[in-house]
Amino acid sequence: DTGVSQDPRHKITKRGQNVTFRCDPISEHNRLYWYRQTLGQGPEFLTYFQNEAQLEKSRLLSDRFSAERPKGSFSTLEIQRTEQGDSAMYLCASSSTGTGFSPLHFGNGTRLTVT
């Protein structure tokens, strides 16, 4: 299965620590998205890449958050000085370009717990 892969699946960290998550999209997809989902809510858009270019960042992304996609392949999402409010599921999705509308293919997410 060559679906979207996220690592780690779970991360528990203490407040104030830095964490980094990784996403490997479907290989032929050049669009990559990060979403955050809290319990009982739908995913909230965080940021979007087309190839290596980060084209949009949500206001939800404070300056403690940074995302990269070097070489347009895998992506990382780093949270510095974590806070308890950062506890959530972080979802990565990818899609292809082309005509029409491509559905998003999601990974199984990284669940972050900040204690």
Partner 1 sequence: SQQGEEDPQALSIQEGENATMNCSYKTSINNLQWYRQNSGRGLVHLILIRSNEREKHSGRLRVTLDTSKKSSSLLITASRAADTASYFCATDAVSGGYNKLIFGAGTRLAVHP
Sign of the C-alpha dihedral, residues 10, 16, 55, 44?
positive
Smallest gap from residue 16 Cβ to partner 1 (A): 27
The separation between CA 90 and the C-alpha centre of its own chain, rounded to angstroms, equals: 6
Smallest gap from residue 81 Cβ to partner 1 (A): 25
Nearer to partner 1 among residue 45 and residue 74 (C-beta): 45
Give the span between the Cα atoms of 15 and 17, in whole angstroms: 6
Nearer to partner 1 among residue 33 and residue 65 (C-beta): 33
Nearer to partner 1 among residue 14 and residue 59 (C-beta): 59
Give the span between the Cα atoms of 73 and 75, in whole angstroms: 7
Q: Which residues bind partner 1 (CB under 8 A)?
A: 4, 31, 33, 35, 40-45, 48, 50, 55-56, 91, 93, 95, 101-109, 111
R_g over Cα of the chain: 14
Smallest gap from residue 3 Cβ to partner 1 (A): 9
